[in-house]
Amino acid sequence: MSQEMRNVRVRRTQKLLREALVELIEERGFDALTIGELTQRAMVSRAAFYRNYQDKYDLVEQIFEEAMQPLMMAIGSAGPAQLQGHWVKLFAHLAEYDRLYRALLGGKGSFWLVTKMRTSLADMTKEHVHAQKGKGNRAFEEGFVPTLLSGLYVDAITWWLAQERPYPPEEMAQRCSLLASSLFKEASTWQ
């Protein structure tokens, strides 16, 4: 089998599993679903599942990493204007996979994913602050401000999806960035 055929088969399997994941979360909740139910609903073998993922958490984590990777790579030395463009891409990704993220972040979703999102966003914020301002402010260094910002973004994403995206991705990114900038500005005056 050619590499191209193998890639098509892998992408098809991943797509079917993601669709089945959403359906099962909506019906039963993330915690209640099993790999057996997932593979049966997706009409793929357990072996095919385990060739791609370790467990259901790995499936969700890979989906999340797909969305976060461009943003994480841009954090280092990006200024506010460049960073905003990456937030727009994140919100566009969330809009593209709206049903999936609404299921994962909703009431029947995964508390594990919400925690992972908050931790990842807080870590990204710490990296950005370190690259932009260096050390010196305890509120940033100890994680207070990054934790607040990560909560802001996760709650904004959850709200936006639950409200069926009343604003376009560009506007959500801008609003969140403005709120984050205000918090940064205020926190930078703290001793």
pLDDT-derived band at 163 (thresholds 50, 70, 90) equals very high
Name the residue among 81, 147, 95, 148 with its Cα closest to residue 119: 147
Query: From CA 166, how far away is CA 158, in angstroms rounded?
Result: 12
Here the tokens at position 120 are 């990842």
The reported pLDDT for the residue numbered 77 is: 52
Which alpha helices (DSSP H) does 29-79 contain, by range? 35-42, 46-52, 56-75
Radius of gyration for the alpha carbons in the chain, expressed in angstroms and rounded: 18
Q: Identify which has the larger pLDDT, 129 or 160.
A: 160
Amino acid identity for residue 83 in this structure? L
Name the residue among 110, 111, 92 with its Cα closest to residue 24: 110
Segment among 21-30, 33-42, 117-126, 161-170 with least mean pLDDT: 117-126
Segment among 14-23, 25-34, 51-60, 100-109 with least mean pLDDT: 100-109
Averaged pLDDT for residues 64-72:
72
The reported pLDDT for the residue numbered 104 is: 86
The reported pLDDT for the residue numbered 123 is: 83
The reported pLDDT for the residue numbered 16 is: 94
